[in-house]
A = this chain, B = another copy of it.
């Protein structure tokens, strides 16, 4: 009797981290980098950010195999003034670079009140919220942006310039977990577009354009020579442009449309830049900041918004912590095979 591969295989967080760590090490990352990347990926899977969870492991492995990204990179950290920290990720992943800069960032923001973190030559292949949650847990407000691979056309344009260029924001909230939002500034994520194509579904008009620059609801047309569009029309497009400027121009990283991994077959990770602004909100305090945020969120819920950003993530996290993280047997088997 054959095993049903779609059957659930629940796994504890620590066990998933250990399994993913073995995979990262096996495909060429250093042990400290593997620990950071494995934890990040397991957090995404645990919290239901599935497009940045275990699903991404194949892409990490392919990029490492292609030698496009350096899994052993050790970031160089340079302080340029009391509040400006430059990080050269040296062609490594962004998360270990951020982790290396973390003590200096926290020291700088505690002293100065706000700190700008400019990471360049970095590969960011995950969600942004895991980068920001530790800041919020430490009582800090933060804002992060990352550029990507050109797949989003400017409004009225015919070819892709921007990455999906996510924007994330995190703030402490008195009496509860931090509020964190994290979204692509494209009308739809690349992952969701691919899922729609696979399922032969149409997507809303405004999601993207075909190869002729015409609006299209056909995901295949958007994927074959077309492009996504920014969310929210001209306003969203301005935000995509701002992300590109802050995450790439300001950091000294590459723009989304400059990433060229054609010499690295199988590479998937964008090598661009990331900007994080970290603020000590108690500096502006005339009334307790985290209490004021709580007051505002209570008003928003009371006005009828059923779900606030990050609500669903915390619910999924609680379920995962109670019952284990729900992989399928197929996913589990694949991870075990990769780890050996």
Q: Mark A88-127, 1 if CB is under 8 A from B, else 0.
A: 0000000000000000000000011111101010000000
Separation of A295 and B251 alpha carbons in the complex (Å): 15
Distance in Å from the Cβ of A226 to the closest Cβ of chain B? Answer: 13
Residues of B near A157 (CB, < 8 A) are 300, 303-305
Residues of B near A153 (CB, < 8 A) are 303-304
Residues of B near A111 (CB, < 8 A) are 81-82
Say yes or no: is A279 at the interface (Cβ < 8 Å to chain B).
yes
| CB contact under 8 A between A280 and B233, given known A296-B245, A309-B238 | no
Say yes or no: is A169 at the interface (Cβ < 8 Å to chain B).
yes
Could you say which interface size class chain A belongs to? 35 or more
Separation of A26 and B181 alpha carbons in the complex (Å): 47
Copies of this protein in the assembly total 2
Within 8 Å by CB of A277, from B86, B158, B185, B277, lies: B277
Within 8 Å by CB of A84, from B231, B251, B283, lies: B283
Say yes or no: is A289 at the interface (Cβ < 8 Å to chain B).
yes
Say yes or no: is A252 at the interface (Cβ < 8 Å to chain B).
yes
> Which chain B residue has the least Cβ–Cβ distance from A158?
B304
Distance in Å from the Cβ of A8 to the closest Cβ of chain B? Answer: 29
> Which chain B residue has the least Cβ–Cβ distance from A309?
B238
| CB contact under 8 A between A120 and B156, given known A111-B82, A293-B245 | no
Say yes or no: is A3 at the interface (Cβ < 8 Å to chain B).
no
Say yes or no: is A171 at the interface (Cβ < 8 Å to chain B).
yes
Say yes or no: is A236 at the interface (Cβ < 8 Å to chain B).
yes
Q: Mark A142-153, 1 if CB is under 8 A from B, else 0.
A: 010000000001
Distance in Å from the Cβ of A142 to the closest Cβ of chain B? Answer: 11
13 contacts between A and B (CB under 8 A): A82-B111, A83-B113, A113-B116, A114-B116, A116-B279, A116-B283, A120-B286, A154-B303, A157-B304, A161-B296, A241-B296, A255-B296, A257-B299
Q: Which 4 A-B pairs have the closest CB atoms?
A: A232-B232, A84-B113, A252-B286, A81-B113
Given known contacts A116-B279, A277-B277, what 11 new A-B pairs fall within 8 Å (CB)?
A: A81-B112, A83-B112, A84-B283, A86-B283, A116-B284, A143-B242, A159-B303, A181-B241, A241-B296, A249-B289, A250-B281
Chain A residues with a Cβ under 8 A of chain B: 80-84, 86, 111-116, 118, 120, 141, 143, 153-161, 169, 171, 181, 183, 185, 213, 231-239, 241-242, 244-246, 248-252, 255, 257, 277, 279-281, 283-287, 289, 292-293, 295-296, 299-300, 303-306, 309
